[in-house]
Amino acid sequence: MVDKHPYYPKIVHIIRPHSLANRLTIRQSCRYNNAFQIITRLILAKTWSDIMKCSACQAETPDDAEFCAKCGHNLKNEPNDTAPQAARQTPIERFKNAAASGRDDDDEEEVTLWIGGYSAKAMVGSWMLAALATALFVVAAFYFEFFSFLIAFVMVCLTWAFVALVLAYRKMGVYYELTTQRFIHKSGVLRRTSDRLEVIDIDDVTFSQGLIQRIVNVGSIQISSSDRTHPELVLIGIDNVHVIADTIDDVRRKERRRRGLHIEAI
């Protein structure tokens, strides 16, 4: 009959989330009302301290239950107030403690995001000049007697061979790799030099394009960093330059946020 009382739901709503001390306070404030006293005693007789909520469905379950009776969720792995202090720390607090102890915040796996080099499209202007030179040599062979077709053929071959050698040297001379933590730059043909730049040390990323480069969507990227070896690193002949520049800048900002460094280096 008590649960039929019109104030029973209100008392349950008030008492359930509070501690025993708060429930005793409510009980004392209702001591002059017989109906409230009866309802409060009945509610206090139920052991609310032995009840917890399932994190999956928010259903109330006994404290010693292994699985939720409503959804079947495993309750043994549920966090509680007695969990270690380190388990309840925020990522920033864990990073500060890790930095103070001389170790990394976490061992995040390094993932390769982009691998590239010099693009042949960056030499479109050179291809156009070589084609123009070829046409001039052929015309000269027709109109000038001293300029034979053999000489014109040799000149055309030398012109295109020179352009091809320049392209081969530039493509084999540079190698770029971007990961979630580092930017790797390799240069040289006979003698290879490799430099690794931490993305967190990158301060600014810009790119530039000429008129013809905008048509074929290539350009140069300039990276400013606090690295002593290459404080100003220029990447030439990068295909899809605006996407690559944005990717480098996004990785830089994400890595700084991950390590809790929000202030730009001066």
Domains of the chain: 2-46 (no CATH), 112-119+160-258 (2.30.29.30)
Predicted local distance difference test score (pLDDT) of residue 67? 72
Predicted local distance difference test score (pLDDT) of residue 58? 73
- For 40-71, give one letter per residue: b (16+ CB within 10 A) or e: beebeeeebeeebebeeeeeebeeeeeebeee
CA angle 136, 139, 141 (to 5 degrees): 110
Q: CA-CA distances (angstroms) from residue 216 to 16, 205, 210?
A: 69, 21, 10
Q: Are 224 and 204 in contact (CB under 8 A)?
A: yes
Q: CA-CA distances (angstroms) from residue 201 to 174, 197, 198, 251?
A: 21, 7, 5, 11
Per-residue pLDDT band for 81 (boundaries 50, 70, 90) equals: very low
Q: What is the mean pLDDT of the chain?
A: 76
Residue whose structure tokens are 């001379």? 173
pLDDT tens string 33-52: 554 555 555 454 444 444 56
Give the integer Cα–Cα distance in Å for 233 and 229: 9
